[in-house]
């Protein structure tokens, strides 16, 4: 499965959830696949999706989904422990794992040597799954979005990339403005 295929499955299976996407290609592909005011695109801040989605989930009743890249998650592993410690039933973390830091040049990431799903489990996420195919991703999303969390889905994708993906055309101020209205 390719990253853009995984994102399409995720975004097409959303209902009313708030979504925070990591910087780089994940935000660009999410924006170009299914932009909506309930999406917050982290433009230029790697490693901060899980802490931000945790903060949002702490302060609202809506379900919150943080979509990280593997490299981004490794930049802030302590946030996984914070999610477990807070034990929020309205939070799901999804990590798209392509084995590299694609947005910064495709450097190798240690996700092949360190299992993020095991880290999530030991950090206190209640429901943890690893998926590699669209059908299993749809199945886990359907189950996890109806379960109390915190939930964690590790989505293994290949490292091929889409070419010429337009950047998020909204300013950071506009992203914040429209997303803030959706939190209430």
Residue 135 belongs to domain with CATH number: 3.40.50.970
Contacts of 44 (CB under 8 A, 6+ apart): 23
Tally of structural domains, the chain: 1
8-state DSSP, 16? S
8-state DSSP, 44? T
Strand 39-41 to 18-21 pairing: parallel
Contacts of 164 (CB under 8 A, 6+ apart): none
Kindly report, residue by residue over 21-59, the tens digit of the pLDDT: 988 888 888 999 899 999 999 988 888 999 999 999 999
Kindly report, residue by residue over 136-155, the tens digit of the pLDDT: 999 999 999 999 989 999 99
Question: Is 0.75 topped by the overall pTM?
Answer: yes
Domain limits at 176?
Answer: 3-183
């Amino acid at each position: 499965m390719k990253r853009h295929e995984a994102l399409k499955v995720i975004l097409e299976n959303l209902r009313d959830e708030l979504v925070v996407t990591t910087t780089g290609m994940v935000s660009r592909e999410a924006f170009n696949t299914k932009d909506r005011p309930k999406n917050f695109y982290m433009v230029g801040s790697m490693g901060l999706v899980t802490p931000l989605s945790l903060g949002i989930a702490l302060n609202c009743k809506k379900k919150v989904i943080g979509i990280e890249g593997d490299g981004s998650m490794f930049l802030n592993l302590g946030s996984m422990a914070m999610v477990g410690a807070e034990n929020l039933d309205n939070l799901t973390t999804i990590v798209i794992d392509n084995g590299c830091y694609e947005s910064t040049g495709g450097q190798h990431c240690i996700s092949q040597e360190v299992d993020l799903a095991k880290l999530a489990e030991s950090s206190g996420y209640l429901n943890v799954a690893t998926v590699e195919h669209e059908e299993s991703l749809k199945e886990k999303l359907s189950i996890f979005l109806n379960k109390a969390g915190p939930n964690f889905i590790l989505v293994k994708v290949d490292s091929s990339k889409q070419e010429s993906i337009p950047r998020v055309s909204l300013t950071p101020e506009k992203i914040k403005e429209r997303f803030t209205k959706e939190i209430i």
